[in-house]
Amino acid sequence: MAIYYDIHKAWLKKAGEELCGDQVKISRAGKRTIAVLSDGLGSGVKANILATLTAEIVSTMIREGMPFKEVITTVIGTLPECRERKLAYATFTVLDIDEESNGFKVINFDNPPVMLFREGRLLPLFEQKEIILGKEITLAEGEFEPGDFFALLSDGILYASEGEQLDFGWGWDEIARFAEEQAIPCGKRARAIVDRVMEKTAALYNKRIGDDATFVGVLVRERKSLIIFTGPPLKEDSDESYAKKFLGFEGRRVICGGTTADIVGRYMGEEVKTDISTMSEEVPPVGELKGVDLVTEGILTLAKTLPYLEGEYSERIARTWPKNGAALLAQEMFRADHIHFLAGQTMNPYYQNPLLPKDMSIRTNLVKELEKALRGLLKEVTLEFC
């Protein structure tokens, strides 16, 4: 089974503040994923700046392979300490995942302990303590298995309670029990588990959040792949080979473009049918083709898909979208972990001057814009121009 690390983060800012004093930095490079949760002392703009600075420093140093002691020394040495409370101006938790071995390492400086759930049950981690520059650092490591759920959290989650007495929050054990219930059965997306924890936290605060609260969930599950074939290949004699490649893809299959759909249809000996009910003033109707999950028009639909990717998404929100090609294509992209674009470079003279260089094609630029938007959503994206 191809493993994917599904990560979702959510936060609540303290009531009356414009910015959240917690920050999460997630970076993916090759077969490595690094998540950093930093909690700035206090709340508001100052806490946000300190947490952002901490998350950036830690993430960069970990990614560059710096020893953890050097990372800790740099951060503690860079950020000042509160004179009155003798606390660091920003705390942090690091989760460093090696996706080849499925091994992970945790570095925790003054944040609540992390949580690991296996088969829906809380699994104790073997932790070690080290003192660096007078500060206690908690270290842990292990190996992920399919179905595991891992959580990082800031102390604003712990303090959530009804009324003003924040010292009587629901606490780490109660949060763990609640998250345990959400992690059963496995197979959900990380978003579903994280959002339930945050909904519970907001309810306990009675909607008036007493402290910045952040929860980051990592669900280890099967990778969901999607291929998007858009535009005829540059060489007409390669149509059949690319149609075969498209249909042989293991995952969801989408075609964007009438000519592209005809190429695949001819190879299969099937006819593309049009669903007129999905036509609107701005987006052409979708089609139907055996063995293909979605068939849409090309350039116009791709362009109309971008705004959806730049907005907020959830399955509930998606149910309110119109049933047109752009909305359906956006849903396919949001639900996928890895998106492979198979983009033909034959130009459509209807849209542009065929004398322009290939890299100035409208389709090529649209695909690159979509790639950028999808990477911003932490999707794995690969481009193949043909």
CB 178, CB 117: distance < 8 Å: no
Give residue for tokens 């400086």.
109
Predicted TM-score (pTM) of this structure: 0.82
pLDDT at 358 over 70: no
C-alpha–C-alpha distance, residues 382 and 223, integer Å: 15
What is the number of H-type helices and E-type strands within the chain? 11, 18
Mean pLDDT, range 326-345, rounded to an integer: 93
Equal fold, 3-222 vs 225-385? no
Give the pair of three-digit tokens for residue 301.
Answer: 């639909």
Q: How confident is the model at residue 359 (pLDDT cuts 50, 70, 90)?
A: very low
Yes or no: domain 3-222 corresponds to CATH 3.40.50.10210: no
Contacts of 337 (CB under 8 A, 6+ apart): 4, 6, 223, 224, 225, 379, 380
**Residue 25: its pLDDT value, please?**
94
pLDDT at 350 over 90: no
Mean pLDDT, range 188-196, rounded to an integer: 87
**Backbone φ, ψ for residue 179 (5° rounding):** -65, -35
**Residue 219: its pLDDT value, please?**
93
Q: How confident is the model at residue 184 (pLDDT cuts 50, 70, 90)?
A: low
- Per the DSSP assignment, residues forming a β-bridge with 254 are 228, 294
Provide, rounded to the nearest whole percent, the portion of the chain with pLDDT above 90: 50
Mean pLDDT, range 187-204, rounded to an integer: 87
- pLDDT 10s digits, 304-334: 999 999 887 777 788 888 889 999 999 999 9
Give residue for tokens 């959580």.
151
Please state the domain extents for the chain: 3-222, 225-385
Could you tell me where the beta strands, DSSP code E, fall in the chain?
A: 3-12, 22-29, 32-40, 90-98, 103-109, 115-118, 121-122, 127-132, 135-143, 149-153, 213-222, 225-230, 252-256, 273-275, 286-288, 294-296, 338-343, 380-385
Of the CA atoms within 13 Å of residue 156, those in its CB half-sphere come to 31
Q: How confident is the model at residue 261 (pLDDT cuts 50, 70, 90)?
A: very high
Residue type, 306: L
Burial class from Cβ neighbours inside 10 Å (0-12, 13-18, 19+) for residue 121 reads exposed
What's the CATH fold of domain 225-385? Rossmann fold (3.40.50)
**Residue 320: its pLDDT value, please?**
86
The residue that leads in pLDDT, 167 or 125, is 125
pLDDT at 27 over 70: yes
Q: How confident is the model at residue 264 (pLDDT cuts 50, 70, 90)?
A: very high
Cβ count near 39 (within 10 Å): 31
- pLDDT 10s digits, 147-169: 999 999 999 999 887 555 445 56
**Residue 289: its pLDDT value, please?**
93
Could you tell me where the beta strands, DSSP code E, fall in 110-167?
A: 115-118, 121-122, 127-132, 135-143, 149-153
- pLDDT 10s digits, 32-90: 999 999 998 878 888 898 899 899 999 999 988 888 888 888 887 776 665 555 555 78
**Residue 227: its pLDDT value, please?**
97
